[in-house]
Amino acid sequence: MNQQTFEAQNRERWQTIDQITAELLKKRSTANAAKLPALFRQLCADIALAQHRMYGARLCAELNARLIRCRQAMGTEMAKRGRGFTRLFLRDFPRAVRRDARLFWLAMLLLIGPMILMVLASKFEPRWIFSVLGPDETQRMDYMYGKDDPTEFMRSEFGSDFGMFGFYVYNNISIGLRIAGMGLLAMVGSMFALGYQGVVLGASEGYVHYAGNTERFYAFVAGHSALELIGIVICGMAGMRLGQAILKPGRETRGAALATAGRRALPLIYGGALLIFFAAFVEGFWSAGPASTEVKYAVGIANAIALAAYLLLCGRNGEESDET
């Protein structure tokens, strides 16, 4: 391909880049801004090709100047959008979950599978429960989900709804972060932690069926369970993403692969912790409240549907162009 053919084939795309960058540098919003990262990468390839084939100083200088303007425009757009909480929650986090969908379903299986198996096993043989839960845990569940009203126990244990909220934030988020961190043990740590957490949850649920008030239990967990369980699953995803970099670094060194995986896993860690935080808020201020069982079930179903819609749909605008 000679220089004239090269310019003719790419001139229209270069003009599109010039138009988008001009609008962004003038601080105008444009619907085509999401296309710029992919166009920027193509422009980098054009420059490399022009320099390799020695198409001349004029064309190379023109492409380099265009590249600089494009980079400045992207920086302006990034600064305008910001990288704070709003962008993380409305764009980066749900995209990161969808990008690693297979890890999501693996983590879900590792958590929910042992939980279901433990509930079924404890139904036929209660000794499975006591092999996992000690006397302190079963006594606590007797107070919360037994025959007596748990209000006095909750007040004496936590002092207030805010105290209960603070306990759940500390306890549950620390579980999620430990699961994520254990992924550094070549994925096995996060996989084991998810499975173990599923066994404990299954044993707790099995004990309520064995000796507690199931209606009170399910009414209590209905409102926050979807947020909490999915938050833990996503923390497990992040840990397995880190572990994959250690197991399969590809052409990079393990340190470089881990750094790349860390950037990819960071939205998952932040987002998983946020979901657990919201679950703690619901658990502290709503789950133990006086609303009827039917209302709590309805709120739980609504929360689950809203969470599914958020993870599936949020941040889709411009997603394909960012990933090309």
Alpha helix stretches (DSSP H) within the chain: 3-25, 36-52, 57-81, 85-87, 93-99, 101-124, 127-130, 135-145, 151-158, 161-181, 188-211, 214-222, 225-247, 254-282, 293-313, 319-323
Q: Which of 98, 100, 92 is nearest to 241 (CA)?
A: 100
Q: Measure the CA–CA gap between 314 and 306, rounded to whole angstroms.
A: 11
What pLDDT, on the 0 to 100 scale, is given for residue 324? 44
- C-alpha distances out from residue 25 to 20, 118, 198, 202, Å: 9, 59, 52, 56
Report the distance separating Cα 203 and Cα 194, nearest Å: 14
SS3 271: helix
End-to-end CA separation in angstroms for the chain? 25
Integer angstrom CA distances of residue 152 from 41, 148, 221:
63, 10, 19
| Residue 317 to residue 323: CA distance in whole angstroms | 12
DSSP code at position 134: -
Residue 165 near residue 279, CB atoms below 8 Å: no
| Closest by Cα among 81, 98, 68 to 30 | 81
What pLDDT is stored for residue 203 in this prediction?
94
Written as tens digits, the pLDDT of the chain (324 aa) is: 788 888 888 889 888 888 888 887 776 666 677 777 888 888 888 888 888 888 888 888 888 888 888 887 776 655 555 456 788 888 889 999 999 999 999 999 999 999 999 999 999 999 999 999 999 888 888 878 876 656 556 656 666 677 777 888 888 899 999 999 998 888 999 999 999 999 999 999 999 999 888 888 999 899 999 999 999 999 999 999 999 999 988 888 888 889 889 988 999 999 999 999 999 999 888 887 888 999 999 999 999 999 999 999 998 876 654 554
Structure tokens at 259: 């750094």
d(CA 89, CA 142): 38
- Identify residue 189 by its one-letter amino acid code: G
**Three-state secondary structure of 3-66:** HHHHHHHHHHHHHHHHHHHHHHHCCCCCHHHHHHHHHHHHHHHHHHHHHHCCCCHHHHHHHHHH
- Report pLDDT for 251: 83
* Residue type at 278 in one-letter notation: F
pTM for the whole structure: 0.72
- Are the CB atoms for 191 and 110 separated by under 8 Å? yes
User: Is residue 278 exposed (0-12), middle (13-18) or buried (19+ Cβ within 10 Å)?
Assistant: middle
Which residue in 104, 237, 222 sits closest to 176, CA to CA?
A: 237
Instruction: For Cα atoms 97, 182, 226, give the angle at the middle one, nearest 5 degrees.
Output: 40
What is the rounded distance in angstroms from the CA atom of residue 159 to the CA atom of residue 180? 31
Could you tell me the residue ranges of all domains in the chain?
3-81, 87-323
The pLDDT, as a whole number, for residue 99 is: 93
* Size (the chain), residues: 324
